[in-house]
Amino acid sequence: MSTSLIYALTGIAIAGLGLFHYLSQRNILRKVLAGNFIGTGIFLFLVSSADRQADGSIDPVPHALVLTGIVVAVSATALLLALLCRYHDETGSLTLDEEDDE
Amino acid sequence: MTQSSILIWPVLWPLVLGIVVFLFRGRTALWLSLAAAVGTALTSFNVCRAVHQSSTLVHEVGGWGAPLGIVLRADGLAAVMLGLSGLVGLVISVYSLTYFKSGSRKEQLFWPIWLLLWGGLNGLFISGDIFNLYVTLELVSLGAIPLIALAGTRDAIKASLRYLLLALLGSMSYLFGVGLLYMRFGVLDLMMLGNTITPDLTVYAAIAFMIGGLIIKAALFPMHFWLPPAHSSAPAPVSAALSGLVVTASFYMVARLWFYAFPALELAKLGQLIGLLGCGAILWGGWQAIRQERLKMLVAYSTVSQIGYLFLVFPLYNKAIEGSGIAWSGSILFAVSHAIAKSCAFLAAGIFIKVYGHDRISELRGAGRQLPMVTFAFALAGVNLMGLPPSGGFVGKWMLLKAAFVTGQWGYGVVMVCGGLLAFCYIFRVLEQFMTTPDENAPNLKSPAVMTYSVLVLAVTAVSLGFFTPVLLGILGVDSPVSLVSFAPEVLLP
């Protein structure tokens, strides 16, 4: 098993764990964290694909992709947190089915 | 400056001016916004014209070509979409000039985010590789969601939060698919991918992740549940942009991948699955639209229904059957006319809310007498949604029907006709209320002039789009992945 394959599988495992919690948690803050886990897992998977050249040199494209991906993920997380703050101010709840909390 | 460099302007102009607008207040900001809107629309039309006259434009941004650089590519499909976003975007902008209270905080925040969204959409339409499609799709989502939250109500914030949580899942899924494809083939460019792709398990997994993610974003049944609350609670110009352009962009991406990156693969079974979802959307969306009490919810469910028609191109096009290419032109025509008609319907609903203070259908009695122009525009949009001639919706639906006959898939034809009947029911439910005589002591109401005329422009364009079919097909035919059937009356006969 090559090193890059271990990284790729780890990435998929992290993304899978994130996905499980993303779907099962009701608290939105936890969903945000889980969403970042999915993102990190996919980025690790992408970076591991840089080791694909026959001569053993590193392909720079996946790194550029991951950098861009991180910027997008950070902006999305920021927007999500800002919306969540506003939602919490309005409803006092951290889940989308607010009736249960009140 | 080479000719292909005109491609950067529909993206650069709104993005740069969007940031500049953010720095100014009051009238200056408004003039700058108008300049940004007109400039974006004109540069989009310019690309459209250039593609129509010569051929596909390819621009390597900064002189860096594929595989490392960013390549913008405008073929016939991209040009049609650019023209659409130019037209609808311009009308939405003019409408917004008077929709928001002058000098309000909402107005200040609307323009920069709307320009960002518009620039993102244009970028999406001319992206040449699957990763830039991801980035622009995220730009579109990050522009659309704050615009919904701009309404500031509890419902709007809840709806935008739910939308964002789902949109994130969709884009992560898409990105994972991109990663799988890159790992397998080492290319991101759509054309190179189309030439090198070979079927194996990794590729099918990648396709499932990518198309699955996009289906969430396009709100195809059964992933549609986030759409009606989000689209109906947003401010009217935003609803129009979302239902008209943002949803169309997600469909555009699926079509782009299907016909440009994956044509070498055998995907008939997946096509049938998507077709079934499309049928579910047509029937369920139409049925729910009939049951709605509020005008904006009704229009939003109508979007759910009409998205279903767009996705029927995937089962109906079969490269082995001659003549089924008509499904391709039909679905694009349908997308264009739906985008125009639906923005028109949402903008008209916005005027009703502004004048009456609510959008409860049962209490809009006599609106036809009080606001005749707006009602007329809404009715014209309805003609398009029902698919009556000479609207673009009619031609698009007829072409899809024809494809269903050519490929012998009658079931889809039956569903399409039923969807038309459902549309007839929900549109006439609204028009019936509008056409009743208002109460004796009903006040004399006036609709705001600028908003009314912008709605009328969209309504007339949508309903006369059928006459412009040859022009649209002419543009669409530039480097089309499918041989287009030339447009003649006998083509329309079954």
| Mutation target vs B (from A79, A81, A90, A94; most B CBs, 10 A cutoff) | A79
Judge whether residue A86 has pLDDT over 70. Answer: yes
The string of pLDDT tens digits covering residues B1-40 is 468 889 999 999 999 999 999 998 888 889 999 999 999 9
Domains within chain A, CATH numbers bracketed = 2-91 (1.10.287)
All residues of chain A having their beta carbon less than 8 Å from the beta carbon of residue B146 are: 79
DSSP conformation letters of B449-471: HHHHHHHHHHHHHHHHGGGGHHH
Chain A: nearest CA to B252, how far in angstroms?
Answer: 21
Q: Which residues of B touch A (CB under 8 A)?
A: 67-68, 131, 134-135, 138, 141-142, 145-146, 149, 154, 157-158, 160-162, 164-165, 168-169, 171-172, 175-176, 178-179, 182-183, 186, 188
| Mutation target vs B (from A40, A61, A67; most B CBs, 10 A cutoff) | A61
Contact check, Cβ <8 Å, A61/B169:
no
B204 in a domain, yes or no?
no
Which of B75, B43, B39 is CA-nearest to residue B57?
A: B75
Contact check, Cβ <8 Å, A45/B188:
no
B346 in a domain, yes or no?
yes
Range of the domain at B478: 267-486
pLDDT number for residue B312? 94
pLDDT number for residue B286? 95
B382 in a domain, yes or no?
yes
Cβ-nearest to A76 among B168, B176, B188:
B168
The string of pLDDT tens digits covering residues B161-212 is 999 999 999 999 999 999 999 988 888 889 889 899 988 999 999 999 999 9
pLDDT number for residue B486? 53
B406 in a domain, yes or no?
yes
Contact check, Cβ <8 Å, A39/B172:
yes
Beta-bridge mates of residue B57: B74
Rg (CA), chain A: 17
All residues of chain A having their beta carbon less than 8 Å from the beta carbon of residue B188 are: 61
The string of pLDDT tens digits covering residues A57-69 is 888 888 989 999 9
All residues of chain B having their beta carbon less than 8 Å from the beta carbon of residue A46 are: 175, 179, 182
Contact check, Cβ <8 Å, B182/A49:
yes
All residues of chain B having their beta carbon less than 8 Å from the beta carbon of residue A24 are: none
Q: What b-and-e string marks burial along B463-472, b requiring 16 or more CB atoms within 10 Å of the CB? A: bebbeebeeb
Which of B6, B218, B36 is CA-nearest to residue B113?
A: B36
Cβ-nearest to B68 among A35, A61, A96:
A61
All residues of chain B having their beta carbon less than 8 Å from the beta carbon of residue A80 are: 161, 164-165, 168
Residues 1-20 of A with CB under 8 A from B: 8, 15
Q: Return the number of CB contacts < 8 Å for A and B.
A: 82
> Do the strands B57-60 and B71-74 form a parallel or antiparallel pair, or are they unpaired?
antiparallel
Helices (H), B150-267: 154-185, 190-196, 201-218, 227-233, 236-241, 247-256
pLDDT number for residue B266? 85
The tokens describing B20, both together, are: 């500049």
B8 in a domain, yes or no?
no
Chain A residue at shortest CA distance from B66? A61
Contact check, Cβ <8 Å, A31/B165:
yes
Percent helix, percent strand, percent coil in chain A, to nearest 5: 75, 0, 25
Q: Which residues does chain B have with pLDDT short of 70?
A: 1-2, 66, 440-442, 485-494
pLDDT number for residue B203? 93
Chain A: nearest CA to B217, how far in angstroms?
Answer: 15
Which of B101, B96, B228 is CA-nearest to residue B155?
A: B228
pLDDT number for residue A98? 54
- Chain B CB within 8 Å of residue A52 CB: yes
Distance CA B89, CA B413 (A): 33
B138 in a domain, yes or no?
no
Chain A: nearest CA to B417, how far in angstroms?
Answer: 37
Work out how many domains chain B is built from and give that number: 1
B307 in a domain, yes or no?
yes
Rg (CA), chain B: 21
B468 in a domain, yes or no?
yes
CA atoms within 13 A on the CB side of B5: 4
Tell me the ipTM for this assembly: 0.94
Cβ-nearest to B164 among A46, A83, A86:
A83
